[in-house]
A and B are shown apart, each in its own frame.
Chain A
Amino acid sequence: MSRSAIGQVFYALLAAVLVALAATVKTDGYIANILMQAATYAIAVFGLSIVLGLCGQINLAQAAFFALGAYSVALGTVDYHIPFWLCLLGGMAIALAAGAGLGLMTLRLGGHYLAMVTISFQQILTVVLTNAIGFTHGPDGVSSIPRPAGFASGQSFLALVVAIMAISGYLVWRLADTRLGRAMRAVRDNELAASANGIDVYRTKLIAFALAALLAGLGGGLFASGFSYVSPDQFAFADSIVLLTMALLGGAASPIGSAIGTGLLILIPEWLRFLKSVPGLYLAVYGAAVILIVLFMPDGIWGYISKLFRARKPAPSKAAEPLTLRPLDSGAPMALEVKGLCKHFGGLKAVDGVDLQVRRGGAHALIGPNGSGKTTMVNVVTGLYRATAGEIFVDGVDVTTLPAHKRTVAGLARTFQNIRLFRSMTALENVVVGAERDGNALIERGRAALWGRARAALDFVGLENRANEAIPSFSYGHQRLIEIARALAANPTVLLLDEPAAGLNLSEKKELHDLLGRIAAQGLTILLIDHDMTLISGAARHVTVLNFGRRIADGETADVLRQPDVAAAYLGVSE
């Protein structure tokens, strides 16, 4: 039985015990209220576990989304006599729509905009709830909110809430290991690398944000019926901060951490009631605690614990099948063709009318002195920069105006000059992200095929026995190899390697040379950008030379390197 299966059985047992306890153990009203609050809050905090923990985006309005759910149930059942379950679903839909709407506006911008917009939304909602008295009942709030049929008693409703909490927690827990969850973690770790591996960064963030709002709406709807009373001051900005702190304290990356954080932050105030004799003292301690948590437990309590007890996962036992690369061939004469490409930054012409034809199969080198426009060219070709003018064709398909993540569908894969791996993921997970790009025709859907291919790609670069180790434990040279494996797993048509030899020692360079040979032997086209003349003259059949953003030579490697103006550009020989 695998670790994950044991974990799931354990989780199911724990959940069953909790639901049974909630349904049977008699508690007085005070304890029952605390439990009800903890369970409904935990659902909202699971939402933060998605948006903040998995996707790395801030949300300072979780209490507002919670309020949308709560008021949907409150107003729907009390004023409009709509059945509870419909109101709950409606509240979740409204919260989802609000989250998606806010996300649409701001997720393209930087993180502080998201912080600001979520705060704005929170403030506007509080003002509306307080002042639109005709609709919301204003500051008095809504009372006598009914519970659904079959769960009329506080005890049975609590058991229902605990069951829903357990299911939500399970889904959020399993989300991390799905394609969407991996995309979220990839976005959190490195947005540029994520889009270069076919992940739509904006869409991924948007989904994370909307799901978080949805869970808040669910928690809020249950909260309203649980307490049968809601008022605007229960869902203020301060409550959003409390929810955020719960996620951080427990460890935003995991729903278990979120649940621990929620429980602690609801219980601690009860333990510290003596502090409440002085108004403000409790929250002052609380504010100081937030700073201390961020300072000393950056991954939260659960992150801290799981680091202590992390057993090194054994390396996969079975040797993977050898990696096959089967680049697509539409019959177009060139694998990659660039016509008259220009990229201007203000007055600077970084790339100025460059043509490039990369023949199918084998390696083509793009060289030139520092500042000649090589990396800019790669960034324009892969879609990180928009071309000022010119056209780019991959396997005969015009990709000039496509965003980066769509160009991987057309068959482009790349590595970065300064390594960009997803640092919180294992080597294998990094490569899986590469393998599951859209349009990878080589793998059928299915976990086994996907992970098999990723392991094959790691095996291809010689690192399969360390597949389950985290990125920071690999040397610089090995990190480069993982990046290449990630690109190969995607089964690209054209592979762009941006200075793969930079920073490698002699024996690592030799390994790289062998690796390029094995890749080329499978018929994959490589565009190699580097300075290392030994590597280039050994590996590349054709060379294009850039200087000052223009092409100054192009042709068979041996011929080009003999041309005097190429030597002049590189060595500064005066003419």
Chain B
Amino acid sequence: MDLFLQLLFTGVGIGAVYALVALGFVLIFRATSVVNFAQGDFSMVAAYLMVVFAVDLGWPYWVAFLISIAGMAVLGAVFNLTVYYPLRHRTFLPVLISTIGASIFLANSVLALYGPQPQVLPGWLDTPGFQVGPVYLDSQYLIIICVTLALVAFQYWLFERTLIGKKLQATSQDKEMATLLGIPVAGMIMLTFVYSAVLGGIAGILVAPILFVSIQMGSTIALKAFAATIIGGFGDVAGAILGGFAIGIIETFGAAYISVPFKDAFAFLVVILFLIVRPQGIFGERVAEKA
């Protein structure tokens, strides 16, 4: 039972990271119908930015954090202008392949600039963690869970309570109608990419102290987050968050009770099971085509 609770805590913590990246996936998918394969590389780039500012340059953690996040916002904008925007009128396949190209480009640019040696980013707090009853609460995991919950709340407020959130929703539901109503659709899509890059960046910075900072961390996280969106129901915000937690918990328990080397396969097995049994995910994707 103690082990169970400990694993649950760890699973929820790592799942929170997947949830954040999955959220970025879903926001871009809803706004542009594009599956962004470079979403995980946003996390990787942000983690490297943190290593540069907080470790190499030795700036205060929060200053490095803010500058890294600002850098991610710029990256999101550049990504939109180079990878998505020129292809916006083409079918989904070229855009998807273009994002794959971007993913390869980002990962290997970082490799060329920083070298293959994995880097270490210290955690935010000096306290490593504390014992509550039978469970040891690692402080970095606590931070991850708290920040994720705060971001989810912020997102809810943004989308449901503000005008700009309504405009973002209108853009994702019907671009033509949104344009006719005077909503700057291109601007809303730009905002979506910037926001998604920032979300991915925060996820990367949060998870970096737990993992090593390496160029592979992006694709690993992205694949898990992608799995999360399938489990939750493609295009559904709440589904992405729940799916992220589900993947985190599944792989943590799978590793502990079944097999450590096969840990990375569990998420994908669950995805394939879901596609057989309930392809629309927990919350269901609205699929329809007009004749």
Q: Are B276 and A284 touching (Cβ within 8 A)?
A: no
Known: A116-B230, A116-B271. A280 touches B110 (CB 8 A): yes
Q: Are B93 and A58 touching (Cβ within 8 A)?
A: yes
Q: Are A112 and B112 touching (Cβ within 8 A)?
A: no
Q: Are A117 and B271 touching (Cβ within 8 A)?
A: yes
Known: A287-B101, A289-B101, A295-B98. A109 touches B279 (CB 8 A): yes
Q: Are B287 and A106 touching (Cβ within 8 A)?
A: no
A279 at the B interface (CB under 8 A): yes
Q: Are A280 and B96 touching (Cβ within 8 A)?
A: no
Within 8 A of A (CB), among B261-291: 261-262, 264-265, 268-269, 271-272, 275-276, 279, 287, 289, 291
Q: Are B275 and A291 touching (Cβ within 8 A)?
A: no
Q: Are A287 and B108 touching (Cβ within 8 A)?
A: yes
A281 at the B interface (CB under 8 A): yes
Q: Nearest-CB distance from A242 to chain B (Å)?
A: 10
Q: Are B94 and A298 touching (Cβ within 8 A)?
A: yes
Known: A284-B104, A291-B105. A278 touches B112 (CB 8 A): yes
State which of B87, B93, B215, B272 has its C-beta within 8 Å of the C-beta of A56.
B93
| Stretch in A35-43, A124-132, A350-358 touching the partner | A124-132
Q: Are A287 and B230 touching (Cβ within 8 A)?
A: no
Residues of A within 8 A of B223 (CB): 119-120, 123
Q: Are B264 and A127 touching (Cβ within 8 A)?
A: yes
Within 8 A of B (CB), among A229-272: 237-238, 241, 244-245, 248
Please classify the interface of chain B as helix (H, G, I), strand (E, B), loop, or mixed, using the class held by over half of its residues. helix
A291 (CB) vs chain B CBs: closest residue: B101
Residues of A within 8 A of B269 (CB): 120, 124
A375 at the B interface (CB under 8 A): yes
Task: Give Cα A130–Cα B259 distance, bound, in whole angstroms.
Answer: 14
- Count, A-B residue pairs, CB within 8 A: 142
Q: Which of B86, B87, B219, B265 is the most central at the interface, judged by chain A CB atoms within 10 Å of its CB?
A: B265
Q: Are A283 and B108 touching (Cβ within 8 A)?
A: yes
Q: Are A290 and B106 touching (Cβ within 8 A)?
A: no
State which of B104, B262, B275 has its C-beta within 8 Å of the C-beta of A241.
B104
A288 at the B interface (CB under 8 A): yes
Task: Give Cα A120–Cα B104 distance, bound, in whole angstroms.
Answer: 18
Within 8 A of A (CB), among B104-127: 104-113, 115-116
Q: Are B226 and A116 touching (Cβ within 8 A)?
A: yes
Q: Are A291 and B98 touching (Cβ within 8 A)?
A: yes
B234 at the A interface (CB under 8 A): yes
Q: Nearest-CB distance from A121 to chain B (Å)?
A: 8
Q: Nearest-CB distance from A384 to chain B (Å)?
A: 5
Residues of A within 8 A of B104 (CB): 238, 241, 283-284, 286-287, 290
A288 (CB) vs chain B CBs: closest residue: B105
A111 at the B interface (CB under 8 A): yes
Residues of A within 8 A of B105 (CB): 284, 286-288, 290-291
Task: Give Cα A244–Cα B100 distance, bound, in whole angstroms.
Answer: 10
Q: Nearest-CB distance from B86 to chain A (Å)?
A: 6
Q: Are A105 and B93 touching (Cβ within 8 A)?
A: no
Q: Are B261 and A284 touching (Cβ within 8 A)?
A: no
| Binary CB contact string for chain B from 54 to 92 against chain A (1 if under 8 A, 0 otherwise) | 000000000000000000000000000011001100101
State which of A120, A241, A244, A385 has its C-beta within 8 Å of the C-beta of B271.
A120
Within 8 A of B (CB), among A92-115: 105-106, 108-113, 115
Residues of A within 8 A of B110 (CB): 280
Known: A111-B92, A111-B93, A279-B112. A291 touches B83 (CB 8 A): yes
B213 at the A interface (CB under 8 A): no
Residues of B within 8 A of A238 (CB): 104
State which of B106, B271, B279 has its C-beta within 8 Å of the C-beta of A287.
B106
Known: A127-B265, A280-B110. A379 touches B272 (CB 8 A): no
Q: Nearest-CB distance from A552 to chain B (Å)?
A: 24
Residues of A within 8 A of B215 (CB): 280
Q: Are A241 and B90 touching (Cβ within 8 A)?
A: no
B227 at the A interface (CB under 8 A): yes
B43 at the A interface (CB under 8 A): no
Q: Are A113 and B96 touching (Cβ within 8 A)?
A: no
B97 at the A interface (CB under 8 A): yes
State which of A117, A279, A288 has its C-beta within 8 Å of the C-beta of B116.
A279
Residues of B within 8 A of A295 (CB): 86-87, 98
| Binary CB contact string for chain A from 399 to 430 against chain B (1 if under 8 A, 0 otherwise) | 00000000000000000110000000000000
Task: Give Cα A173–Cα B77 distance, bound, in whole angstroms.
Answer: 42
Residues of A within 8 A of B96 (CB): 58, 111-112, 115
Task: Give Cα A294–Cα B105 distance, bound, in whole angstroms.
Answer: 14
Q: Are B97 and A192 touching (Cβ within 8 A)?
A: no
B101 (CB) vs chain A CBs: closest residue: A290
B95 (CB) vs chain A CBs: closest residue: A294
| Binary CB contact string for chain A from 532 to 561 against chain B (1 if under 8 A, 0 otherwise) | 000000000000000000000000000000
Q: Are A298 and B90 touching (Cβ within 8 A)?
A: yes
Residues of A within 8 A of B17 (CB): none
Q: Nearest-CB distance from A106 to chain B (Å)?
A: 6
Task: Give Cα A117–Cα B104 distance, bound, in whole angstroms.
Answer: 20
Q: Nearest-CB distance from B94 to chain A (Å)?
A: 5
Residues of A within 8 A of B265 (CB): 123-124, 127-128
Q: Nearest-CB distance from B127 to chain A (Å)?
A: 35
B202 at the A interface (CB under 8 A): no
Q: Are B279 and A113 touching (Cβ within 8 A)?
A: yes
Task: Give Cα A280–Cα B111 distance, bound, in whole angstroms.
Answer: 5
B99 (CB) vs chain A CBs: closest residue: A291
State which of B101, B111, B291 has its C-beta within 8 Å of the C-beta of A192.
B291
Q: Nearest-CB distance from A535 to chain B (Å)?
A: 22
State which of A109, A124, A192, A290 has its C-beta within 8 Å of the C-beta of B100.
A290
Task: Give Cα A19–Cα B82 distance, bound, in whole angstroms.
Answer: 43
Q: Nearest-CB distance from B87 to chain A (Å)?
A: 7
Residues of B within 8 A of A110 (CB): 234, 287
Q: Which of B93, B102, B109, B264 is the most central at the interface, judged by chain A CB atoms within 10 Å of its CB?
A: B93
State which of A131, A192, A283, A287 has its C-beta within 8 Å of the C-beta of B262.
A131
Within 8 A of B (CB), among A176-206: 192
Q: Are B226 and A119 touching (Cβ within 8 A)?
A: yes
Task: Give Cα A106–Cα B291 distance, bound, in whole angstroms.
Answer: 22
A241 (CB) vs chain B CBs: closest residue: B100
Known: A105-B272, A127-B264, A287-B102. A112 touches B111 (CB 8 A): no
Residues of B within 8 A of A298 (CB): 90, 94
| Binary CB contact string for chain B from 238 to 276 against chain A (1 if under 8 A, 0 otherwise) | 000000000000000000000001101100110110011
B109 (CB) vs chain A CBs: closest residue: A284
A283 (CB) vs chain B CBs: closest residue: B108
Residues of B within 8 A of A123 (CB): 223, 264-265, 268
Q: Are B112 and A280 touching (Cβ within 8 A)?
A: yes
State which of B106, B113, B275 has its C-beta within 8 Å of the C-beta of A117.
B275
Q: Nearest-CB distance from A555 to chain B (Å)?
A: 28
| Binary CB contact string for chain A from 286 to 306 against chain B (1 if under 8 A, 0 otherwise) | 111111001100100000000
Known: A280-B109, A291-B101. 5 other contacts (CB 8 A): A112-B29, A131-B262, A280-B113, A282-B108, A294-B98
A-B contact pairs, 7 of them (CB 8 A): A121-B272, A128-B262, A244-B97, A278-B112, A281-B108, A284-B108, A289-B101
The 8 closest A-B pairs by CB, nearest first: A280-B111, A290-B101, A287-B105, A287-B104, A120-B268, A283-B108, A280-B112, A284-B108
